[in-house]
Structure 1
């Protein structure tokens, strides 16, 4: 799983703190730098790697629009501002999303999902594990230990052979992070194909005893995948 290195730039200290706390709640995000000064951010970017920046548009030292003109396509951008009239100008610079203050975590999470979909997921395909944030800690989970992943409202439950991890994430995001031997079989379930014991037309039975329904939307693609 690729960790998306994030920067937060906003001239308001409370906004920097809030966005930084939001970034740390997204399992595949890593907050590498935050500042109230866009010039400091430019200096950081010149010397360090980063992937995604949460960038305020209206700042006295350097506007977010001019910041993007300087940095160019080295980074991907999510713009933040209290002024809705900047939205169109921001989108002309091909940013991922535009967040209007005050920013709720629910709205931020939707933006985070958009960002995850813009980053390649196969760079670390040879890895046998990934890290997820659960109960305030980062947990290393081996892919071959996962039985299934279940959506539970705003969270997902990653069930392994010995434990379960409740993670603030979406099934779509997890689906992009898991290797080829995992399949979405239902709007609420992703399962490990290596853990299947038997299948009928409506259900998958895992060797752990868990019975998982096959959703009509996913049936054709699922059966095609297991035939391969």
Structure 2
């Protein structure tokens, strides 16, 4: 399958994220030809059958046929790279199974490492691994993640007092070096903040994804607290909150969450 110029298929239901990965791959691997782009898993399998590629970049969570299910349809005919949002269970499964993966937003250093491994496999004409058993592990972990109820309370120290903060009252969470800054409505609705030791990346997977969304590598916001969003330069934006003076950044990788702007 591998020709003088390697080929790839990218599947992601978010157009902005597909374009972002194409752009990043263009810098990290200029020789790689993107021969197909798909909006869901079913399209990915259909396009691969019509025009096989050496490598498939598959978003894990897509409507209809997921990236994991699409991988089963493609099987050993291509080298697979999964792309996932922050998902501890999925990432652990990928690492244990030695499956290539990228975490959104895709970082250039991590992508460069993946490109090096893929180039070596193509150079040595290594066959794609039999991943049926490994995919079963991923599916099991993803199912476990879905069955875990969202976090309801956050424990935070405010001075000498331990506060039990209802998650629905949290306006946003922001990474602050080794800590996470929690901003919520305290007594009488006053804006209150506290630091907790739990890293933001650990909290993300415990929050209700219907209410809390990541808008920046260091920021997660409660959508119910958003007043309005203002587009900025370079495909970024700023979030203005209800009843707060805080203005939160939206990075390019997460602007698709507000694509109707």
Q: TM-score, normalised by structure 1?
A: 0.48
Q: TM-score, normalised by structure 2?
A: 0.43
